[in-house]
């Protein structure tokens, strides 16, 4: 059975879809099969595609995300996924607060898997410059590489 990973940020339009794409790309390169998805702790953008700046950086890096649509985390996700990985501490706290008592998913931060970065947040590029999305891409790729190394 394939390992399943859900990435979670606030609105599911920047960091988490980029992390989803980065892990898909790393799994493909490593010949691994994983179930990978993304969601948000808030439902503000439900049904909308990722931010255009996130789409642009992902496409430049060979991992298009224009087909993805934002969705909120659901109680079912805590049963459907092995790992629910937050992109920052605030969303990790939100996930811990809504996790059902019988939820089986392991909660963690993306950077907890990256040497020397445990406990750190992946910076939210939404209110920043376009170049912040490039930085976020580098960060989620580092996380994706660490996930592949740990789970393969």
Which of the residues are catalytic?
9, 15, 124
Determine phi and psi for 124, rounding to 5 degrees. Answer: -80, 115
CB atoms within 10 A of CB 95: 23
Structure-token pair, residue 127: 């209110």
CA proximity to 15, closest of 34, 33, 39: 39
How far apart are the C-alpha atoms of 92 and 86, rounded to whole Å?
A: 5
């Amino acid at each position: 059975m394939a390992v399943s990973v859900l990435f979670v940020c606030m609105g599911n339009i920047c960091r988490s879809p980029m992390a989803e794409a980065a892990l898909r790309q790393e799994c493909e390169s490593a010949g691994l099969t994983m179930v990978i998805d993304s969601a948000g702790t808030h439902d503000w953008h439900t049904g909308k595609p990722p931010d255009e700046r996130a789409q642009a950086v992902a496409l430049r890096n060979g991992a298009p995300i224009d087909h993805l649509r934002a969705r909120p985390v659901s109680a079912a996700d805590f049963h459907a996924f092995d790992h629910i990985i937050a992109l920052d501490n605030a969303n990790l706290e939100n996930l811990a607060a809504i996790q059902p008592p019988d939820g089986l998913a392991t909660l963690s931060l993306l950077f907890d898997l990256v040497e020397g970065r445990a406990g750190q947040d992946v910076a939210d590029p939404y209110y920043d410059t376009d170049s912040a999305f490039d930085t976020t891409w580098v960060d989620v790729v580092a996380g994706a590489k660490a996930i592949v190394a740990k789970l393969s």
